[in-house]
Amino acid sequence: MNTPIPPPGTTSLPPLQLAVRGMTCAACVSRVERALGRVPGVARAQVNFATEMAFVDWAPDAAPDAPALVEAVRKAGYDANEQPAETLDLTQAQPWWRVWGPALLGLAAGLPLLAPMLMGLHHFWPAWFQFALATPVQFVLGARFYKAGWAALRDRSGNMDQLVAVGTSAAWGLSCWVWWRGGMDLYFESSTLVIALVLLGKALEARAKRQTTAAIRALQALRPDTVRRLGPEGEVEVPLAQVLVGDLLAVRPGERIPSDGVVSDGEGDVDESMLTGEPLPVRKVPGDAVTGGSINAESRLLLRVTAVGGQTMLAQIIRRVTEAQAGKAPIQQVVDRVSAVFVPAVMIVALLTAMGWWWAGLGPEAALVRAVAVLVIACPCALGLATPAALMAGTGSAARQGILIKDPQALELAHRVQLVAFDKTGTLTLGRPRLVEWQVLPGQQARWGDRALAIAAALQSGSEHPLARAVIDAAADRAQVDASAVGDGTGRSAHREAEQVSGLRTEAGRGVEGVLADAGGGPMRVLAA
């Protein structure tokens, strides 16, 4: 359940972010939100199961207290630490053996117990061998379920781990009891395979979480790890985290602008499509503002840093995408209410199932087997993951297309939209120019003919300007110029060996000039405008 949501505008500080580890289902989300909501000064606490992140809004008159939040989460049975937006690293890739190892070990122990049964050999393995395989799985690989289930019980709540722990313990205990009585029908394979399959589900869940955060990681990748800072000792490469407001940074052609700033020296085009969506670079001169994450297209720039860390425009974009993915659509709020009573309801249904079959005359053993079946099939994994994963996939896909969704409720309400207004070009287009028509100068058709486009592409081969790439792509589409040849900067055309140029030189604001080999040594110019 959510803590009360304050009216818009009642909180001025950005949400404090916590990385929360150890959650296993939607009930865990409710427990963490309740624990955070009880901390004095908290106006709203929102937890995302898929990203394992918590976002806490403070009351206007409250002072943020991150240690108190971390302690509240730990008392609830989970691990937490503060995670600023500028250092956000969601669902970090773990070694494969840590993710898949427990599931593979569980399957290695459970499949030998199951295989004879599939062939009709129901009492193939001796009881001691089944006990030897099942016990380590139950109490070593399954220890996480006992630990998490006990923590939830102390908090007077329920979670999926309790269902797994109670169900598999009942199957394992029943098998030991039947073995002690000299019976043959054991259920060690059931307890072993249930734990193994739940662990396999958790491994697949971890993979799904990793994939759903790809959009945020792509935004984070726009920030370089190191920068070149100018100081008394000259140009020194330092980590981006050490950059301060007022520092002077050098950015070479082709590099990303490391942080928001103002051009101090140099002049050149900067690709700001990641921010504005506009396909063409913007000319920057001393005094112009630049945004971290954009690309310096053509010449060396010196910039004076004006914002770092979480204050940069890129960090704010990442924060907005993250908060949108953490938000809860109306359907997710329904899921939260259901999950709060799901586990107790399943326990009651399992108990009634056992009592009903016992009273029907099947005996305690058959009644317990049916109760265990109710417990193990009710593990609400998808209950907590399906909706947030769908929201993250939608907002992540939109972010890759340059669309930032600020409120997840908009996704549920989108089917009611009757009219859409688009602000500018670039919103509906591909975001890159395309050559649709070209002409040879009057009187030159007989001399150059179809070679003109190939020559233009060869002249533009050393440029990364969007208009230059449009010429090259058009020539390649006409099968006149090999795309790989003109893209390597050599200026060679695969169509005619004679179409070779040398001395490529860019004239700012006019175009590219080069010498064509069979043009009598005279220069031939093509304008990029």
Which of 423, 473, 477, 482 is catalytic? The answer is: 423
The residue from 375, 394, 413 where one domain ends is 394
Q: Is 423 labeled as catalytic in the residue annotation?
A: yes
Average pLDDT, the chain: 77
Q: Which domain holds residue 254?
A: 223-309
Same domain, 197 and 336: yes
For the stretch 163-178, pLDDT in tens is 888 888 988 988 898 8
Same domain, 388 and 450: no
Same domain, 258 and 185: no
Same domain, 251 and 282: yes
Q: Is residue 496 part of a domain?
A: yes
Name the percent of the chain in helix, strand, coil, to the closest 5: 50, 15, 35
Q: Is residue 376 part of a domain?
A: yes
Three-class DSSP category at 331: helix
For the stretch 294-352, pLDDT in tens is 988 878 899 999 998 878 888 888 777 776 666 666 666 676 667 667 888 888 999 99
Q: Is residue 201 part of a domain?
A: yes
Give the pLDDT band of residue 2 (cuts 50, 70, 90): very low
Instruction: State how many domains the chain has.
Output: 4
DSSP class of residue 138 equals I
The CA-based dihedral angle spanning residues 291, 292, 294, 297, taken in that order and rounded to the nearest 10 degrees: 90
For the stretch 484-496, pLDDT in tens is 444 444 444 444 4
The two tokens of residue 67 are 């240690």
Give the pLDDT band of residue 19 (cuts 50, 70, 90): confident
The two tokens of residue 339 are 């999950």
The burial class, CB within 10 Å (0-12 / 13-18 / 19+), for 93 is exposed
Q: What is the pTM of this model?
A: 0.62
Full strand arrangement of the beta sheet holding 248-251: 234-239, 226-231, 248-251, 301-305, 261-265, 289-290
CATH of the domain at 29: 3.30.70.100
How far is Cα 47 from Cα 33, in angstroms, rounded to an integer?
A: 6
Same domain, 243 and 265: yes
Residue 464: the pLDDT is 65
Task: Give the least confident one: 91-95, 229-233, 399-403, 484-488.
Answer: 484-488
Give the pLDDT band of residue 381 (cuts 50, 70, 90): low
Same domain, 195 and 106: yes
Same domain, 114 and 161: yes
Q: Is residue 7 part of a domain?
A: no
Give the pLDDT band of residue 16 (cuts 50, 70, 90): confident
Q: Is residue 471 part of a domain?
A: yes
